[in-house]
Chain A
């Protein structure tokens, strides 16, 4: 069972943002969306989340399998909201419109906070959290939402390397524990190589390739996507590392 994307196109003010993208994303996989700035990664995720209208078909079958959670590139940081309240907003859809959250909602929220090791910070205001803690809080909100499809727009772009790896590790753990399907826009090619099962390559709104990460991430394809020479080296233990060669001249 897959998420079927057929001829997904997006046009805003006569400009083609996405152009006939078709892919079949398996449930329970981590898919990295790669591409240069302005290639349409964020728009692709927003279409999947149903936030912006698009042409084409997206069959998520989530009416059977659960909800979609979308995390934008820069999540809002409301002043004076505790981390617990921030995560509890993930239960919005589950509560009746005229009632407050039930104790079940609060328990789910507590579980989500604990699963991301944020219990000690639950009473802290979100504006006082570090970048890594904030990303974990956003993930906790998605867990509280009991989403089965997680759409993340560059969640690691503002983080240092340690926090990038920490957030990605939490993501993979959550994915395994809750059998999540994750589609994640990334800038760091090495993170994509190490943490994703599948990769979708975008260039100027068009799809350059989609498939298993190890197969699709070739030096040629990546060089084409980023319009810059890219090299992949194998380490002694068999792991691959990607180097980007900058043309400084």
Chain B
């Protein structure tokens, strides 16, 4: 009986599309280690045990003394915790959007900024900064709004051109390249004509995870979770898209509908992520590949684990951004590429061309 059960469990058919227990545990450990350490590591170090007790205190019927001073508690609740959440959702959104685009375009080079959303967001933010729109209304930052609208606008333009050019995914991809080039040219021109604002624009473009309070988190979290859920529900369709279009249709899929839905979802994820964090490069391309090469090529694994690992990766890199040259901060985009690129190269060499 035991032998029979083991045979069933070890059978390739019953193991299909499933991840081993040890890799599941390793991913969860990565997530817990990155998020928890981000709470107590920083310019003002906090005691890990006190942080743990302070967080456990939110549970009902628990009334523990965390030993954190009022200032430390404020740092934890109004500074560190929102920043961890923000970093997690930005990383998770970019990674999942990258995975989605790689799935529908069947292209390992696809990333969240493929359809011109980075260039659009950059142009939107540049407009807001150059026109000094923030001075029009007190206490409201229009840069995220400009970036969000710019990212969405660019994607809509690219999709429109792509649809006119033809139904093949390559048409859309090239339309994205054309749109991005045009919008980048516009942005460069605007920057050239307004050198006084260059530093502010550049600071935004390079990407950062900074927040005071929960406003950005409340903006990105619902959108990120809903979009992730939509992509997760379409994980099987994404696997079907790994076959040819004709085979996907013959097996009962609807590639056109799936592609449209995933483009909208990923464009939304990217737009909301860049609006709160600027352009953080590399997360959206390397995290899905790391998941693919270490866990498996099925989107049933890539979607949920890109979300978890993308978020954890950005939270981890944000720790380095905060402490590397403390009290100043390093731009997080620099660290994601600086750490991510060699790690990705290492994974790539291990995989020996299986991409």
Interface residues of A (CB under 8 A from B): 46, 49-51, 68-72, 75-76, 78-85, 87-90, 92-93, 95, 97-98, 100-101, 103, 106, 109-110, 113, 122-123, 141, 145
A154 to chain B, nearest CB (A): 14
Judged by a CB distance under 8 angstroms, whether B236 is at the interface is yes
Cβ contact within 8 Å between B246 and A109:
no
Which residues of A lie under 8 Å from residue B16 when comparing CB positions?
A: 82, 84-85, 88, 106, 109
Residue of B nearest to A42 (CB): B246
Q: Distance in Å from the Cβ of A85 to the closest Cβ of chain B? A: 4
Given known A80-B296, A84-B16, A110-B13, contact A95–B244 (CB-CB < 8 A): no
Sample of 12 A–B contacts (CB below 8 Å): A71-B250, A72-B246, A78-B243, A79-B297, A80-B297, A85-B17, A85-B298, A89-B240, A92-B236, A97-B236, A141-B251, A145-B251
Query: Shortest beta-carbon distance, A94 to chain B, in Å?
Result: 9
CB-CB nearest 9 A-B residue pairs: A80-B297, A93-B252, A123-B12, A122-B12, A70-B250, A78-B242, A84-B12, A84-B16, A76-B244
Residues of B within 8 A of A110 (CB): 11, 13
Q: Say yes or no: A79 contacts B239, CB within 8 Å.
A: no
A202 CB to closest chain B CB (Å) equals 19
Across the interface, which residues of A come within 8 angstroms of B236, CB to CB? 92, 95, 97, 100
Contact status of A92 and B242, CB under 8 A, knowing A80-B292, A82-B12: no
> Which of B15, B246, B249, B354 meets A84, CB within 8 Å?
B15
Give chain A residues whose Cβ lies under 8 Å from the Cβ of B252: 92-93
Q: Is the interface of A mostly helix, strand, loop or mixed?
A: mixed
Q: From B251, which residue of chain A is reached at the shortest CB distance?
A: A92
Interface string of B239-269 (1 = CB under 8 A from A): 1101110110111110000000000000000
Q: Is the CB of B296 within 8 A of A75?
A: no
B11, B16, B17, most chain A CB atoms within 10 A: B16
Query: In the complex, A171 Cα to B335 Cα: how many Å?
Result: 56
CB distance A75 to B243 under 8 Å?
yes
User: B12 touching A70 by the CB < 8 A rule?
Assistant: no
Extra inter-chain contacts (6) besides given A79-B355, A93-B252, A109-B13, CB under 8 Å = A81-B242, A84-B15, A85-B298, A87-B13, A89-B240, A98-B233
Q: With an 8 A cutoff between CB atoms, is B80 at the interface?
A: no
| Inter-subunit contact A90/B297 (CB<8 Å) | no
Please report the C-alpha to C-alpha distance between residue A31 and residue B239 in the assembled complex, in whole angstroms. 32
A contact residues around B296 at 8 Å (CB): 80
Q: Do A78 and B297 touch across chains, with their CB atoms under 8 A apart? A: yes
Distance between B131 CB and nearest chain A CB, rounded to angstroms: 45
Q: In the complex, are the beta carbons of A68 and B17 less than 8 A apart?
A: no
Q: Which residues of B contact A82 (CB under 8 A)?
A: 12, 16
Chain A residues within an 8 Å CB radius of B253: 92
Query: Bound state CA distance, A70 and B242, in angstroms?
Result: 16
A85 to B251, CA, bound (A): 14
**Contacting residues, chain B, for A93 (C-beta < 8 A):** 251-252
Interface pair A49/B242, CB less than 8 Å apart: no
Given known A75-B243, A76-B242, A113-B13, contact A89–B251 (CB-CB < 8 A): yes
The residue in B240, B243, B251 that gathers the most chain A C-beta atoms within 10 A of its C-beta is B251
Are B12 and A69 neighbours in the complex by a CB distance under 8 Å? no
Tell me the bound Cα distance from A202 to B14 in angstroms. Answer: 44
CA A49 – CA B242 in complex, angstroms? Answer: 20
**Interfacial chain A residues near B243, Cβ < 8 Å:** 75-76, 78, 89
Contacts of B251 in A (CB 8 A): 89-90, 92-93, 141, 145
Contact of B297 with A106 in the complex, beta carbons under 8 Å: no
B300 within 8 Å of A by Cβ?
yes
How far, in angstroms, from A155 to B14 measured CA to CA in the complex? Answer: 28
Q: Which residue of A lies closest to B253 (CB)?
A: A92
Most buried by B among A68, A95, A110: A110
Contact partners of B249 in chain A: CB under 8 A: 49-51
Of residues B11, B250, B292, B300, which shows the largest number of chain A Cβ atoms within 10 Å of its Cβ?
A: B250
Q: Which residues of B contact A72 (CB under 8 A)?
A: 244, 246-247
Find chain B residues with CB under 8 A from A90 CB. Answer: 251
CB A8 to nearest CB in B, in angstroms, measures 18
CB proximity of B108 to chain A, nearest CB, Å = 10
Shortest Cβ gap from A141 to chain B (Å):
8
The smallest beta-carbon distance between A203 and chain B, in angstroms, is 24
Query: Once the chains are docked, how many angstroms separate the CA of A23 from the CA of B131?
Result: 70
B233 contacts across to A, CB distance below 8 A: 97-98
Question: From residue B240, how far is it (CB to closest CB) to chain A in Å?
Answer: 6
A149 smallest CB distance to B (angstroms): 11
Residue of chain A at shortest CB distance from B239:
A89
B113-149 contact mask (Cβ, 8 Å, vs A): 1 or 0: 0000000000000000000000000000000000000
Q: How far is the CA of A141 from the CA of B15 in the complex (A)?
A: 17
B298 near A81: Cβ-Cβ < 8 Å: yes
- CB-CB under 8 A from A89, the residues of chain B are 239-240, 243, 251
How far does the alpha carbon of A81 sit from the alpha carbon of B16 in the complex, in Å?
9
Distance A100 CA – B234 CA, assembled complex (angstroms) = 11
Contact partners of A83 in chain B: CB under 8 A: 12
- B247 proximity list for chain A (CB < 8 A): 70-72, 75-76
B292 & A106 in contact (Cβ 8 Å cutoff): no
